[in-house]
Structure 1
């Protein structure tokens, strides 16, 4: 998969989910936007979990743990470049290694992720199939 295909397929979803890693707790509007974008992408909970654990957490947890101070916003273009670079290399041993360590990279945002997934499930039950 090339960089443009990754941006086309995942860019909107990645950027919508990035606030899970911000220093501040996501706002209601953040969660509402995340749910709306997730619904557009029509992914299963399992697929979403792996996107969270393997595609996003390795990049965003490093930003979250950095010592540069507050991280209340992010540069979307820079973030997309970092996410694309990471995901283009996410094969073989790298994928297995990130899967192994995904508990550590998601630890600080797991409560937010669980809240988001609960909201997604409520929304999916509310909508007609």
Structure 2
């Protein structure tokens, strides 16, 4: 997969989910936009979980831990470049390494992710867990 394919296939979803890592709780509007974008991509909960752990969290957690991080809003262009770069290298041992450490990179936003997945289930007409 090349950079343009990644942007075309995942870009909108990545940017919609980025507010999970901001230094504030996502608003109702944020959650609604995330659910809407997730619904457009028609991914299973398992696929969403692995996208969250492997494609997003390694990049986004660095922003969260950085002293000079963006706290209120991300620069979409800069963030997309970082996400594409990470995902182009996400093969073999790197993929396995991020899978191994994904608990650490997701723990700061796990409560937000759980809330989002509850909302996705409700939007799909399924029983929340």
Q: Please state which band the TM-score falls in when normalised by the shorter chain.
A: over 0.9
Normalization by structure 2: what TM-score?
Answer: 0.96
Give the Å deviation of 1:109.
0.3
Partner of 1:67: 67
SS of equivalent to 2:125: helix
For structure 1, which runs of at least 5 residues remain unmatched after alignment? none
Give the Å deviation of 1:69.
5.6
Normalization by structure 1: what TM-score?
Answer: 0.96
Please give the per-residue CA displacement for 1:20-52, whole angstroms capped at 9, x wherever unaligned.
000010000000000000000000000000010
Partner of 1:109: 109
Partner of 1:35: 35
Q: 1:107 to 1:124 in 2, by over 3 A?
A: same
Moved beyond 6 Å, runs of 4+:
none
Give the Å deviation of 1:70.
5.5
RMSD, matched Cα: 1.0
For structure 2, which runs of at least 5 residues remain unmatched after alignment? none
Q: 1:96 to 1:31 in 2, by over 3 A?
A: same
